[in-house]
Amino acid sequence: MSESIRVAVLGASGRMGTTTVRAVQEADGLELVAALDAGDDLRAVTDAGAQVAVDFTVPSVTEQNVHVLVDAGVHAVVGTTGWDDGSLGRVHDHLLRAPGVGVVVAPNFALGAVLAMSFARQAARWFESAEVVELHHPDKVDAPSGTARHTAQGIAAARAAAGLGSVPDATTQALDGARGADVDGVRVHAVRLRGLVAHEEILLGNTGEMLTIRHDSFDRVSFMPGVLLAVRRVVDRPGLTVGLEHLLGLPA
């Protein structure tokens, strides 16, 4: 019988951290060896012999956590949002000096959300207009969501590859924020509402028709199959992987 993968969870007292601790404890072939939160010394990860650390902390600390883990030879599965090309580039470069170590950064681990993003990338080339609406619980600190950014970037890349120009928009007068954030030319709107967990609508329009792709996470357990998949796969996946689509064999 193969040995269990030894797992640490960072941000273990948070909403995602507590759900992840439970999922790892209940998963076959995984062993929870450390559960850390703010104020804990990251050396506890290596002291406990963790092979993989799952990071669900806050955007302001997640990159630094990953550099420390890479230096310690610990694989990382990162769900915390707030990553951009600069922070991803620094981790990519760092990993060149840490052969064998893997880092998976995924803005959304829910399988339906990953499929929705993939469908949006596939559909984007056929529509003149595209906008993204994300809807979350009001305790979320970042806006727009990491998922909405990743979705919009994917749509923008698909549009560019197909030779599409800018989305049509005649707005010349607007209150600040009325047209949402501009992510690579795709407008992204953020709703914060008590009662919600994590939701996204991708709106694609042509004259006379609209395609709506919607995903709803009603419970944080929806993220766990993706988190556990990433934990099991990262140990054999050196370097940086951005997006769960790469582990699911979906077109990137």
Ligand X SMILES: O=C(O)C1=N[C@H](C(=O)O)CCC1
Q: Please list the active-site residues.
A: 136, 140
Site for ligand X in 176-215 (CB under 6 A): 198
According to the annotation, is 11 in a ligand binding site?
Answer: yes
Examine residue 14 and tell whether it contacts ligand X (CB under 6 A).
no
- Reduced to 3 states (helix: H, G, I; strand: E, B; else coil), residue 207 is coil
For residue 7, the 8-state DSSP code is E
Least Å distance, CB 14 to ligand NAD, is: 2
Q: Which of 108, 118, 153, 241 binds ligand X (CB under 6 A)?
A: 108
Instruction: Work out what residue 13 binds among ligand X, ligand NAD, none; the CB cut-off runs from 5 to 8 Å by kind.
Output: ligand NAD
Least Å distance, CB 114 to ligand NAD, is: 9
d(CA 34, CA 169): 51
Looking at residue 87, its amino acid is S
According to the annotation, is 107 in a ligand binding site?
Answer: yes
Question: Rg (Cα) of the chain, in Å, rounded?
Answer: 19
What is the contact surface with ligand NAD in residues (CB under 6 A)? 10-11, 13-17, 36-38, 56-59, 61, 79-81, 106-109, 146, 223
> Stretches 44-52, 70-78, 97-105, 145-153: which one binds ligand X (CB under 6 A)?
145-153
**Closest by Cα among 60, 111, 94 to 76:** 94
For 65-102, letters b (16+ CB in 10 Å) and e give bbbbbbeeebbbbbbbbbbeeebbeebeebbeebeebb
Where does this chain bind ligand X (CB under 6 A)? 81, 107-108, 136, 140, 145-147, 198
